[in-house]
A and B are shown apart, each in its own frame.
Chain A
Amino acid sequence: MANKKINKKDIAKLLNKWSQEFAVFVPSRESGVAEMAKWDGKDTGFLDWYRNTIVPPKANFLPQMEEMFRFQKDKEGYKIELPPDGAKQLIFGIRPCDARAMAIIDPNFKELYQDPYYLSRRNSAVLVGLGCMNPSESCFCTSMGVSPAESKDVDLMLTDIGDEFLIEEVSDKGRKLMAKTTGLKGATKNDEAKAKEAKKTAYDKVTRKLDTEGIADKLQASFDDEEFWEKIAAKCISCGICTLLCPTCYCFDINDELVRQQGTRFRNWDSCGFPVYTKMPMENPRAEKWRRVRQKVCHKFEFYPMNFDVIACTGCGRCIRLCPVNLDITQVLESVPAKARVRK
């Protein structure tokens, strides 16, 4: 089927149409932090300012805090009640790096035991990708197999071709949505050519590179190289931001809250950067900072690939941009000794 296109001025109309079926989310700075927020029905200003959100769209599937269930005690004992199902989400403008991140963490929530909260949101959602035409200096997505303006991990993909966006149908879900979305013009050969050119230009704009060849082996060989890890971790302040705002970090904590006999069990993002994360009453396997930094790096580039056959990094660059002490993951990985300096 031929691709469609839409004039940028008509985006609001399109989003309003989709709002009839979905809770539509778009990039927003309303809260003071760029994140995917509920579409307000009019403001398409993000088309001008948007490079990427600070809060990754993983928050739409694994919210920073979410209710798992409620409990209440009456004379017959405790009753447990699930929260109502949320609306089907349509995430408009997700970047290819962040869409890939979702595909990367899916298996963690699917395998062996299914995570009903994450999966129900994920399965019902539509991802509408928007090609990233101005990658940041900190971005290195092309080294991680991601192209800034192309994606197989979304349902529809939009590419900026001047006054218009080219719309490609990537998945069945995307095709079905487009079949229901009437009134769009078909793309011409010229539009297709412009989109192809735009994608290539965007790809070439990503200048930061990371060579991941053999990285897992190097990390394994240097696991017990305390001197190396201490040096790497020296300036880390354990703020956790590189994990909390990483689109592939999914660790969470589970806690209870009780207010006037109405109880809630909720879960919230957690970070391997915090000492309490692994703290047990008698001991803590990662009390020292360098052990926590090592865990973060090794989990993404060694352990996760061992379990799920994919590196848990998309090169989105957030951890580089947002780190308050400029701890740069690409520099860390490049400095891992090629050969073990200490024996296990």
Chain B
Amino acid sequence: MTATDTKHQRFFAQNNVYLPHIAVIEKIIEETPGVRTFHFNFKDKKLQKEFSFESGQFGEYSVFGIGEAPFCISSSPTHRHHLEFVVQKVGRVTNALHRLGVGAEIGFRGPYGNSFPLDFLKGKNLVFVGGGIGLAPLRSLIWNVIDNRKKYKNIDIVYGARTPADLCFQYDLDAWGKDKSIKFVTTVDRGDESWKGKVGVVPKILEEIAPSAKNAVAIVCGPPIMIRFTFPVLTKLGFTPEQMLTTLEKRMKCGIGKCGRCNIGNIYVCRDGPVFSYAQIKNFVSSEY
């Protein structure tokens, strides 16, 4: 799953991997309080046409004068008219991004990292398990899969958040709820009067639904605590470590394996990940994930 040289160098600005391309924000969606989706396009029309990426990859986004931060590309490569990323307001760069309006210019370099292994997923039953803003990398893959529906078997999606107000991508949830070709469940830790879906943490609901492990792959993205409790449930359901995929997150700066900080043992999350199988994670020389 490691990225190859030529695959990515196509999109270097001025032949320098650290130089961002100028991109323009075209639309902003308030997902939940503190979480926004940004739609953007490159200013360079040629790049806009040629740019390509794979589900699971990320970019380094600049607010000029404030700095850079990594976010996954949350839109699907099958949706070509623009790119999307999702930002939770938690730090300096994310706060600055939230201050930007439509038409503002940002910097983008990427795509970086590996991606979800589509060849491996082809012909399999897919179980998507997402929590909160962790749906961002998953939805890129989910739309990718839906747009190539015939290549895959059954699709299960379990998505949860703390409260109904914390559910992101309502427009996706509506669409998936209506799609007869997928089994879709949403859950919240705590409901309210109007909530009609399930109540309970994601791993618990997953155990209730109990998707078969036969010819299946589970793709799990969400807060670390959810991931930690989901793997044992999947194991109980018969999933092997090779059948469980997730994305890892660390503090990053360069995004290309040079600056040092995102390592787990000899693995660099930015360069060797962010997509890993549970089998790989178990084999890390470091227990520091």
Interface of B is mostly: loop
List the A side residues contacting B256 at CB < 8 Å.
112-113
Q: Within 8 Å of chain A (Cβ to Cβ): is B286?
A: yes
Given contacts A69-B18, A223-B287, A258-B65, is CB(A112)–CB(B257) below 8 Å?
A: yes
Q: Within 8 Å of chain A (Cβ to Cβ): is B209?
A: no
A265 to B15, CA, bound (A): 17
Contact at A68–B18, with CB atoms within 8 Å?
Answer: yes
Partner of A278, one of B13, B250, B258, B266: B250
Q: Within 8 Å of chain A (Cβ to Cβ): is B260?
A: yes
Given contacts A112-B257, A252-B259, is CB(A278)–CB(B265) below 8 Å?
A: no
Quote the shortest CB–CB distance from B1 to chain A (angstroms).
13
Given contacts A82-B14, A223-B285, is CB(A115)–CB(B65) below 8 Å?
A: no
Q: Within 8 Å of chain A (Cβ to Cβ): is B33?
A: no
List the A side residues contacting B254 at CB < 8 Å.
252, 254
- Quick check: which of A141-149, A177-185, A280-288 contacts chain B, the rest being far away? A280-288
- Interface membership of chain A positions 58-73, coded 1 if the CB is closer than 8 angstroms to chain B and 0 otherwise: 0000000000110101
A295 to B260, CA, bound (A): 11
Given contacts A78-B105, A272-B261, is CB(A252)–CB(B90) below 8 Å?
A: no
Which residues in chain B, 97-149, are within 8 Å of chain A measured between CB atoms? 105, 107
Quote the shortest CB–CB distance from A83 to chain B (angstroms).
11
List the B side residues contacting A299 at CB < 8 Å.
260, 263
How many residues of A sit at the interface, in one of the four size bands? 35 or more
List the B side residues contacting A252 at CB < 8 Å.
253-254, 258-260
A286 to B285, CA, bound (A): 16
Q: Within 8 Å of chain A (Cβ to Cβ): is B210?
A: no
Which residues in chain A, 245-286, are within 8 Å of chain B measured between CB atoms? 250-258, 263, 265, 267, 270, 272, 277-283, 285-286
Interface of A is mostly: mixed
A263 to B67, CA, bound (A): 11
Number of A-B contacts (CB under 8 A): 136
List the B side residues contacting A277 at CB < 8 Å.
251, 260-261
Which residues in chain B, 233-286, are within 8 Å of chain A measured between CB atoms? 249-251, 253-254, 256-266, 271, 285-286
- Interface membership of chain A positions 100-125, coded 1 if the CB is closer than 8 angstroms to chain B and 0 otherwise: 00000000110011111100000000
Contact at B260–A251, with CB atoms within 8 Å?
Answer: yes
Q: Within 8 Å of chain B (Cβ to Cβ): is A238?
A: no
Contact at A280–B67, with CB atoms within 8 Å?
Answer: no
CB closest residue in chain B, given A271: B260
A108 to B257, CA, bound (A): 8
Contact at A281–B91, with CB atoms within 8 Å?
Answer: yes
CB closest residue in chain A, given B288: A285
Q: Within 8 Å of chain B (Cβ to Cβ): is A168?
A: no
Partner of A279, one of B3, B9, B22, B251: B251
Contact at B259–A254, with CB atoms within 8 Å?
Answer: yes
Q: Within 8 Å of chain A (Cβ to Cβ): is B164?
A: no
Partner of A256, one of B5, B9, B13, B66: B66
Partner of A254, one of B9, B43, B67: B67
- Interface membership of chain B positions 1-42, coded 1 if the CB is closer than 8 angstroms to chain A and 0 otherwise: 001010011000111111110100000000000000000000
Q: Which of B16, B223, B254, B261 has the most CB of A within 10 A?
A: B261
Q: Within 8 Å of chain A (Cβ to Cβ): is B195?
A: no
A78 to B256, CA, bound (A): 24
Contact at B288–A291, with CB atoms within 8 Å?
Answer: yes
Contact at B13–A80, with CB atoms within 8 Å?
Answer: yes
Q: Within 8 Å of chain A (Cβ to Cβ): is B229?
A: no
Quote the shortest CB–CB distance from A251 to chain B (angstroms).
3
Partner of A253, one of B257, B259, B262: B259
- Quick check: which of A18-26, A42-50, A300-308 contacts chain B, the rest being far away? A300-308
Q: Within 8 Å of chain A (Cβ to Cβ): is B232?
A: no
Contact at A306–B266, with CB atoms within 8 Å?
Answer: yes
Q: Within 8 Å of chain A (Cβ to Cβ): is B68?
A: yes
Contact at B285–A78, with CB atoms within 8 Å?
Answer: no
List the A side residues contacting B271 at CB < 8 Å.
112
Q: Within 8 Å of chain A (Cβ to Cβ): is B197?
A: no
25 A-B pairs with CB atoms under 8 Å apart are: A73-B64, A78-B107, A80-B20, A80-B107, A82-B16, A82-B19, A108-B257, A112-B257, A113-B256, A223-B286, A252-B259, A254-B254, A255-B67, A256-B64, A265-B18, A265-B62, A270-B253, A270-B260, A278-B261, A278-B262, A280-B250, A299-B263, A302-B265, A306-B285, A307-B266
Q: Give 16 A-B pairs besides A252-B260, A270-B259, A285-B289 with Cβ atoms closer than 8 angstroms.
A: A82-B14, A108-B257, A109-B258, A254-B68, A254-B253, A256-B62, A256-B66, A257-B65, A270-B253, A281-B91, A282-B223, A283-B224, A302-B265, A303-B265, A306-B265, A307-B266
7 A-B pairs with the lowest CB-CB distances in the bound complex, closest first: A251-B260, A258-B65, A281-B90, A306-B266, A303-B266, A113-B256, A256-B67
